[in-house]
Amino acid sequence: MDHRRGGDRTGWALERLVGSAAAFHARDLPEPVTRTISVLEVDRPALVIGSTQPEHHVDSKTLEGEEIELVRRRSGGGAVLLVPDQALWLDVVVPRGDRLWDDDVGRATHWLGSAWAGALAALDVAATVHTRALVATRWSAWLCFAALGPGEVSTGGRKVVGIAQRRTRHGARFQCVVLRRWDPSSIVGLLALDAPTKAAAVAELAEAAGGLDRPSDEVLDAVMTHLPSR
Got the DSSP string for the chain?
A: -EEEEEEEETTEEEEEEEE-HHHHHTPPPPSS---EEEEEEESS-EEEE-TT--GGGB-HHHHHHTT-EEEE-SS-S-BEEE-TTSEEEEEEEEETTSTT--S-TTTTTHHHHHHHHHHHHHTT---EE--SS-B--TTTTTBGGGSB-TT-EEETTEEEEEEEEEE-SSEEEEEEEEESS--HHHHHTTBS--HHHHHHHHHHHTTTB----S-HHHHHHHHHHHS---
All domains of the chain, ordered by start, with CATH?
Answer: 2-226 (3.30.930.10)
Q: Check residue 10 and give its pLDDT.
A: 72
Low pLDDT (below 70) residues in the chain: 1-9
- List, for residues 119-154, the tens digit of each pLDDT value: 999 999 999 999 999 999 999 999 999 999 999 999
Q: Check residue 9 and give its pLDDT.
A: 60
Neighbours of 133 (CB within 10 A): 10
Q: Check residue 121 and give its pLDDT.
A: 98
- Give the global pTM: 0.95
- List, for residues 88-126, the tens digit of each pLDDT value: 999 999 999 999 999 999 999 999 999 999 999 999 999
> What average pLDDT is seen over the chain?
95
